[in-house]
Every structure is written in C-alpha cells, then in structure tokens.
Chain A
Amino acid sequence: MILLLYVFIAGWLVPLKPGIIQVTPERAEAGQIVELEVTGYNSNYTKDQGEVRAWLRLAGDTVIQAREVQVMDDRHLTCSFYIPSAFPVRQEAYPLSLILDHTSDGTSVLPNALFITPAKVQDENEAALWFSDKVTSVHEQSGIRFPFRNILSETIRNTYFHVPLWFAMIILFGVSAWYSLQYYRGGQIDLDRKTVALVKVGLLFGVLGLVTGMLWAKNTWNAYWSWDVKQNMSAIALLIYAAMMVMRASLEDDMQKARLTAGYNMFAFALLIPLLFIIPRMTDSLHPGSGGNPAFGGEDLDNTMRMVFYPAVIGFILLGLWISQLVYRTEKLK
C-alpha cells in the first residue's frame, strides 16, 4: 500500500521537464533567414535571458546555431537562423531538429521541428556552414523531473498505471493457472476458490488496463479504439476469461465446476501467451513493442521514471494478490 501511495503521489505530482511544444513556421526554404517562434512547456525562458542558445540539427554534428535568440516571456521565444542554401547530403527535404539550451532549464529537443525544401540557387560553399558550429557545453537540468516527450507530454504518467496493471494481470492469471495445475494433480477443492479469486481480480485489472490504455490511445493515437492488433488481442484475452466465468455460472455441481475450470483455465493461459506476446509482435501495430521491438528500449525510461515505475509494478502485483486473497477468504466464509 505504501508503495502504491508513493507511486500515486510521485506519478501525479512530479513535474515534467521543460520541453518544446511547437514551432512556427514548420517549413521553410533553404538559403534564407528563418524566424522561428518557439512555444515552450514548463519552461522559464525569462530567467537568464542572455544565456539561451538554439541550434538546428540535421544529423550528428551537422548543426547550425541561431544568430539571435529573443525571449518574449517564460513560454515563448523567437530565434533567427540562416539556413545555408547547400547541404552536405542531398535529399528532397531536410527535417531539422530544434535544440534549445538554457542555464536552469537544461536542454530540450523537438525532433523534426522544421522541414526545409532545397533552395533554387545553391551555393556549394555554404555547405561548410553546417560544420562551423558545435553543440557544446549544454546544461543539465537539476531536480526530480520526468522527461518531456513529444506527443506524450503529460500522459507519460500513464506509464505508472497502464503498464503495471497489465504486468499484474499476467502474474495473476499465471498464478491461477499454476493453482489449476495443482488442482489437476489432485489438489483440494480449496484450490479452486483460489484460482477463481485470482481470475476475477485478473479480469478487473485487465479491464482497468484496457481502459487506461484507451485513454492513452485517445491522447496519442487520437481514438479510444483504433482496431490496433494489440487492443484486439487483449480484448479477446479478456473475453476468454469472461467466458470462463459464464461457464462456471451455468454449472451446478461444485466438483465438476472445479474440474472444468481448472482444465479450461490452463488451456486459456496457454493460448493467452501467443495471443498477447507473439501475434502482436508479428504484425504492424501502433503500440510500442510491436514489429519486433521490445516495449522498453533504452530511451523509454530514464532514471527518474524508473524510481517510480519499478515500485509501481511491484505495488500493483502485490495489490492484485492481496485483493484476490480477500476475495478468496470471503468466498471461503460463504
């Protein structure tokens, strides 16, 4: 409980790191001066005004520095760049990332902030301008903050609820399948109660996981339900377990109920694994972790998030086991 309390408080209250929400204009032509209006998030640009620096990055060290940065208020600033008319590589369009550095806010990045179309007249000598500036001596932001991710922004907090809920559900179903196996090997009728309690709580967690996922999807994919393979498969998984509860309800004899539940439960758990972990990885999906990538790559969690995420996982699993203990005991008392 203390773990979860900590998770809820930290998960909701720790502010996000400063970031960049948007940049106007979004496209420009090379060989001209571009005035970028930058809208920040949680930023304090007015502090140390002279110290804000900005770069546009093509790749690696290929950057140009802003000639001038003007702070308007805490959330807005403009910076003017001269975009060289020639590029070191040839492409049809050049996506540039905006990097801002500030003494107290630290560094913030907006990927693909500006799209550059090639200039009509190209001066090959200007390609060298791309290498004259370097991103140097950037500042680290101090204090406990969650990272600012483009698109995700505040919904990044959902990582502490959506993901651990699914982890907990898998654990609960797994333990219940284990109890079913024990019952299959000649256990007591008591094991059936444990199995069912775990499945009930697992179903609840699954529904909650689906709902938090849908809220997240509304904010990032712009629809609660987009018939993504991961969404479909998890809904089907819940249907399988719901069917099991229907089956139990339509049986009279307790012993028969226990035996059929044990059998079906093991069958369902075995099919759950390809359903949730293999099929979504084989097809295209919007969900992170599809198309062969693991869901948690190096960039998804930073150390501040880990400080909340791991307790959240442990806390939700323990909460699930605890609730199912309660369900089991009330069943037994009846």
Chain B
Amino acid sequence: MTLIATEARIELRERYALSGILLYVLSAAFIVFSIWKELPPKEWGLTFWVIFLFCSLMAVLKTFGRESEGRYFYFYTLYHPLELFLAKAIYNLGLLFFIFLILWGTLTLMAGNQIIRFSWFLITGGLASLGLAFLLTLITSIAIKTQQSASLTSILALPLMIPLLLNMLRLTAYATGITPDDNPWNEFSMLSGIISLVVGLSLWLFPYLWRS
C-alpha cells in the first residue's frame, strides 16, 4: 500500500513525466484527427485503441527505469518482490485508466463521441488497463535488464498485446453499436480469460525474473 503511494508521489514530484504522457496523448490524437477530421465508428474505435496502445507503452516504459540500482537493492531487502510488482502494476493500472479517460475525453471533444453503450466502453477500458498494466509491467521488468530497453519493450510487448487488442476492438464494436450482435458476454469472457491468464502468469513469474 505504502509502495503504491510512494509510486504516485514520485510520479507527481516529477511532474514533467506525467505531463509528458499527457502531451503525448494530445499530440497523437491531434495528428491523427487533423488527417481524418471525422471518423465513422469503426475507424474511431480502431484509432482510439492504437493511440491508447502507444500511449500505454510510453507510460509504462518509465516504470522501472526511474529508480537507481541501489534503490532496487534497498527495496529488495525491504519488500517481497510480489509486493513491489503489485504496487507498480496497480499504479500503472490507475495511470492507464486515467489515460483512457483523458483520451476518450479528447476524442469526444475533437471528433465527436461514437459510443452508444457507455458502461460497456468503460468496462472495456477498465479491462484493457488491467491487462495491459500487468503485461507491460512484466515485459518492462524483463526489458530493463537489456541494453536497449525502450525498443525491446515494444518488440516483446506488441505481439503479446495483439490478442488483447483484438478482443478490445470487438467489445468496442459492441459499445459503438456497429455489430448486429446483441450478446457481448462471449467477447467479455474471452477478454477476461486472457487477462486473468496474463495476471496470473505475471504474478507467478515476476519474483523469479526479479531475482537478479
């Protein structure tokens, strides 16, 4: 618990990091929509998630880079690795959900809102944040051990994100009402199945990967 608070405090102290992410979100949205101006629902959802994916990559990338080696050693003696991982992942979850809301707001302002079923889009956003937060936290913790951690995070994480992305797109299609399908539970259970797999595996593997 205190660790989550610490994470947040560090992040807030270095305000440029957070505002950097915000700027990234805004400029990405701006670039995309100055090209298209107006988007039909399907493309709207697609653009939304593509921007979201890259923003989340940017945001989570900093998770492990921030602290020095010495600090990690200190943490390692103080906490169980699981606590550390959970703190980071939950903090990232909050961050991603925040990005999700900001992005949604931005797109609504600039390109109009295409979402009909608000609660379902919120659920999709929450699930996406959860899955991506755990997946990216784990992958960053692997990539940080290498020399070019930034590029390696994207190489390792992007293909792993695709099964999540596909289901997110399908749920978004339901939320925008462009599918004739009236039953989103199938996609929902599929997405939450994959996410629970990701969460379980990352919790299981992180203490082991973190040992060095």
Residues of A within 8 A of B (CB): 184, 236-237, 239-240, 243-244, 246-247, 250-251, 253, 255-256, 259-260, 262-264, 266-268, 270-271, 274-275, 278-279, 282
Measured in the bound complex, the distance between the Cα atoms of B163 and A278 in whole Å is 10
Q: A236-B159, A236-B162, A279-B163 are in contact. Are A250 and B146 (CB under 8 A)?
A: yes
Quick one: closest B residue to A249, CB to CB?
B146
> Are A274 and B159 closer than 8 Å at their CB atoms?
no
Q: Which 7 residue pairs spanning A and B have beta carbons closest together?
A: A239-B159, A250-B146, A240-B159, A263-B209, A263-B205, A243-B155, A243-B156
Pick the interface stretch among B8-16, B23-31, B41-49, B189-197: B189-197
> Are A246 and B155 closer than 8 Å at their CB atoms?
yes
Closest Cβ–Cβ distance, residue A183 to chain B (whole Å): 10
Selected from A247, A253, A270, A275, the residue in CB contact (under 8 A) with B142 is A247
Selected from B152, B197, B212, the residue in CB contact (under 8 A) with A271 is B197
Q: A247-B152, A250-B146, A278-B190 are in contact. Are A259 and B159 (CB under 8 A)?
A: no
B residues in contact with A237, CB < 8 Å = 159
Closest Cβ–Cβ distance, residue A282 to chain B (whole Å): 7
> Are A263 and B208 closer than 8 Å at their CB atoms?
yes
Measured in the bound complex, the distance between the Cα atoms of B163 and A270 in whole Å is 12
With contacts A236-B163, A275-B162 known, what are 16 further pairs, Cβ within 8 A? A184-B208, A239-B159, A246-B152, A250-B147, A251-B146, A253-B212, A259-B211, A259-B212, A260-B209, A263-B208, A267-B202, A267-B205, A270-B201, A271-B160, A279-B163, A279-B166
> Are B156 and A256 closer than 8 Å at their CB atoms?
no
B residues in contact with A247, CB < 8 Å = 142-143, 146, 152, 155-156
Give the tally of cross-chain contacts (CB within 8 A). Answer: 73
Measured in the bound complex, the distance between the Cα atoms of B156 and A266 in whole Å is 14
B145 is an interface residue with CB less than 8 A from chain A? yes
Closest Cβ–Cβ distance, residue B32 to chain A (whole Å): 22
A residues in contact with B156, CB < 8 Å = 243-244, 247, 264
B186 is an interface residue with CB less than 8 A from chain A? yes
> Are B160 and A259 closer than 8 Å at their CB atoms?
no
Q: A270-B197, A274-B163, A275-B163 are in contact. Are A260 and B186 (CB under 8 A)?
A: no
> Are B145 and A267 closer than 8 Å at their CB atoms?
no
Measured in the bound complex, the distance between the Cα atoms of B205 and A240 in whole Å is 17
B residues in contact with A255, CB < 8 Å = 212
Selected from B143, B190, B201, B211, the residue in CB contact (under 8 A) with A282 is B190
A residues in contact with B193, CB < 8 Å = 274
Quick one: closest A residue to B212, CB to CB?
A256
Measured in the bound complex, the distance between the Cα atoms of B190 and A59 in whole Å is 40
> Are B194 and A274 closer than 8 Å at their CB atoms?
yes
Interface string of B111-149 (1 = CB under 8 A from A): 000000000000000000000000000100011011110
B residues in contact with A240, CB < 8 Å = 159-160
Residues of B within 8 A of A (CB): 138, 142-143, 145-148, 152, 155-156, 158-160, 162-163, 166, 186, 190, 193-194, 197-198, 201-202, 205, 208-209, 211-212
Interface centre among B143, B145, B147, B197 (most CB of A within 10 A): B145
A residues in contact with B143, CB < 8 Å = 247
Interface centre among A184, A247, A266 (most CB of B within 10 A): A247
Quick one: closest A residue to B186, CB to CB?
A282
> Are A259 and B162 closer than 8 Å at their CB atoms?
no
B residues in contact with A246, CB < 8 Å = 152, 155
Measured in the bound complex, the distance between the Cα atoms of B209 and A270 in whole Å is 17
Interface centre among B193, B208, B212 (most CB of A within 10 A): B208
Quick one: closest B residue to A248, CB to CB?
B146
Measured in the bound complex, the distance between the Cα atoms of B200 and A271 in whole Å is 12
A residues in contact with B212, CB < 8 Å = 253, 255-256, 259
Quick one: closest A residue to B197, CB to CB?
A270
Measured in the bound complex, the distance between the Cα atoms of B157 and A268 in whole Å is 10
Interface centre among A251, A255, A267 (most CB of B within 10 A): A267
Quick one: closest A residue to B198, CB to CB?
A271
Measured in the bound complex, the distance between the Cα atoms of B208 and A250 in whole Å is 20
- Could you give 22 example pairs across A and B, Cβ below 8 Å? A236-B162, A247-B143, A247-B146, A247-B156, A250-B147, A251-B146, A256-B145, A256-B212, A260-B142, A260-B145, A262-B208, A263-B142, A263-B205, A264-B142, A264-B156, A266-B201, A267-B138, A271-B160, A271-B194, A274-B193, A275-B162, A282-B190
Closest Cβ–Cβ distance, residue B165 to chain A (whole Å): 10
> Are B197 and A243 closer than 8 Å at their CB atoms?
no
A residues in contact with B198, CB < 8 Å = 271
Q: A246-B152, A259-B208, A259-B209 are in contact. Are A274 and B197 (CB under 8 A)?
A: yes
> Are B201 and A267 closer than 8 Å at their CB atoms?
yes
A residues in contact with B197, CB < 8 Å = 270-271, 274
B residues in contact with A270, CB < 8 Å = 197, 201
Quick one: closest A residue to B206, CB to CB?
A263
Interface centre among B159, B160, B201, B209 (most CB of A within 10 A): B159
